[in-house]
Amino acid sequence: MISQSIAKRYAKGLFAVGEKDGRYREYLTAMESILEVFNKEKQLGRALMLPILEMKKRKELLGDIMKACDAPLPLANMFSMLLEKNRMGYINLIKDVYSELVDEKEGRIRGTLYTAYPLVDTMKNRIETELKKKLQKDVILQIIEDKTLIGGVKVNVKGTIIDGSVKQQLETLKENILKE
């Protein structure tokens, strides 16, 4: 809960700057590329987070990473602030919140589509189109195969779950039979 609050504060601050200068989308792209570097080179991330290395060395290392990734100044400043306050561990959460802010600004919403079997793109597109009509926003779904569903699909968009799975239908049928 506290980590979400901290992440929102940093993400909203950076987003406000990005909105003002019109580069909010660029900041997201740069943040993703920096995090990609951290994911590929795990030791870099650890070196920045662990207080074993003195702060001056960590700042130099972070500065080198920012230069190598050609990070915009506001983003580099946010990373420096996170480093100084020992909050580098929040960066993935900050990126997620920032990404949501960008999606909201651009009229998009993301969700998860659970399916028992691989889904063809036309069916995914059809579901996204129907959800777009219902939610009045573009919908982008990530597909996850879940063999426990038996058949059908289940969609989770911003906490709203639409369950059209065979598993759910069987459970509903069972409840109705038990009631009678």
pTM value is 0.80
Closest CA to 149 of 173, 174, 115, 111: 115
Contact present, 101 and 25 (Cβ < 8 Å): no
pLDDT of residue 19: 96
Whether the CB-CB separation of 144 and 113 falls below 8 Å is answered with yes
Q: What integer pLDDT is reported at residue 163 of this predicted model?
A: 84
Q: What is the mean pLDDT of each run of 10 residues along the chain (180 residues)?
A: 90 96 96 94 85 87 93 96 93 96 94 90 91 90 89 87 82 83
Write down the pLDDT at residue 148.
Answer: 85
Residues 166/151, Cβ–Cβ less than 8 Å: yes
